[in-house]
């Protein structure tokens, strides 16, 4: 069992052990008022953070007990990376200091000026309801889900001046992707390994497309792959970009979970450094030197 916010969390029904006497209900004016009246961190700690411990079931299944922390504390180092709960005689709990660090992570994923656009709301939301693709699966079928509404109330209550992300100023260049990344990175394996195109040539993770029937890749297909890749890139911040963390060895700072090969052992790899510069907006055009 795991405790969140000092409250024991077991593996019973979702509403148990989360500081919630009853299953979450849809948002009400009263709930919005409470979120407005309570300090943002206090409301987060009492109402939002316990949701990270709630059993979810495995992606595509209603069975199993995988909670958000199963991936976001132990298996990922990307944007939504939570503290590992501190062990206690009753299991584990986030201390106030750990909760504050979690709070700093979570608030980077919200937009108080446009709450419904917050990635923190869109990633667990079904794509059919306007959500984003999520490796861990979609947990809310619609925006009417009580959990969605509780989080939305909290984001709406945050001061917009403090919790509105800066407009992205970095543009990741398509021409460099088409001329250098596709033919040299995604289509060629390192050390005799499989190339990225072996797994990522199509579908929701199709950021490394191939030409139809083994022919030349059209610009339209390349742009489709580039658009897919945007989900794995944080413009201006390569160290938070899954595109660079998934194939990087964990000992070198990479993501723990990747079903494919590890293309780079460390971040000092010249190819990794070149791609990092590209994501920072420092590299553009069709010149692939000096790496390729």
Task: Please give the average per-residue pLDDT across 95-112, as a whole number.
Answer: 94
Which carries the bigger pLDDT value, residue 2 or residue 76?
76
Q: Is 140 helix (H, G, I), strand (E, B) or coil?
A: strand
Q: How many Å apart are CA 229 and CA 234, to the nearest integer?
A: 10
* pLDDT in the model for residue 33: 60
Q: Which helix (H) or strand (E) holds 85?
A: none
* pLDDT in the model for residue 235: 87
Q: Is the pLDDT of residue 287 over 70?
A: yes
**pLDDT over 70 percentage in the chain:** 81
* pLDDT in the model for residue 58: 54
Buried b (16+ CB within 10 A) or exposed e, 228-237: bbeebbbebe
* pLDDT in the model for residue 14: 33
Q: Is the pLDDT of residue 271 over 70?
A: yes
Q: Is 157 helix (H, G, I), strand (E, B) or coil?
A: helix
State the pLDDT confidence band at 63, using cuts at 50, 70 and 90.
low
Angle between helices 146-157 and 29-37 (to 10 degrees): 40
State the pLDDT confidence band at 85, using cuts at 50, 70 and 90.
confident
Q: Which two tokens stand for residue 247?
A: 């194939």
CB 45 within 8 A of CB 103: yes
Q: What sign does the CA torsion over 8, 43, 137, 208 have?
A: negative
Residue 179 DSSP symbol: I
CB 225 within 8 A of CB 181: no
């Amino acid at each position: 069992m795991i405790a969140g916010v000092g409250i024991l969390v077991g593996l019973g029904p979702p509403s148990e052990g989360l500081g919630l006497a009853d299953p979450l209900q849809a948002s009400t004016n009263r709930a919005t008022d409470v979120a407005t009246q309570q300090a943002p961190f206090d409301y987060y700690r009492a109402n939002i953070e316990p949701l990270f411990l709630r059993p979810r079931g495995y992606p595509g299944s209603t069975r199993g007990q995988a909670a958000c922390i199963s991936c976001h504390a132990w298996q990922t180092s990307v944007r939504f990376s939570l503290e590992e709960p501190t062990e206690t005689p009753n299991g584990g709990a986030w201390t106030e200091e750990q909760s504050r660090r979690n709070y700093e992570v979570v608030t980077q994923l919200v937009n108080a000026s446009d709450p419904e656009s917050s990635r923190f709301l869109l990633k667990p939301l079904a794509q059919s309801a306007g959500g984003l693709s999520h490796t861990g699966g979609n947990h809310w079928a619609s925006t009417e889900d009580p959990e969605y509404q509780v989080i939305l109330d909290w984001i709406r209550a945050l001061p917009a001046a403090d919790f509105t992300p800066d407009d992205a100023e970095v543009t990741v260049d398509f021409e460099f992707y088409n001329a250098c990344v596709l033919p040299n990175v995604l289509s060629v394996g390192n050390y005799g390994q499989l190339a990225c195109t072996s797994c990522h040539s199509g579908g929701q993770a199709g950021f490394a497309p191939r030409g139809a029937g083994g022919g030349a890749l059209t610009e339209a297909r390349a742009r489709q792959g580039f658009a897919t890749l945007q989900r794995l890139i944080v413009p201006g911040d390569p160290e938070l970009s899954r595109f660079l963390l998934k194939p990087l060895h964990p000992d070198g700072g990479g993501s723990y979970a990747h079903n494919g090969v590890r293309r780079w052992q460390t971040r000092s790899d010249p190819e990794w450094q070149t791609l990092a510069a590209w994501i920072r907006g420092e590299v553009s055009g069709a010149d692939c030197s000096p790496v390729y």
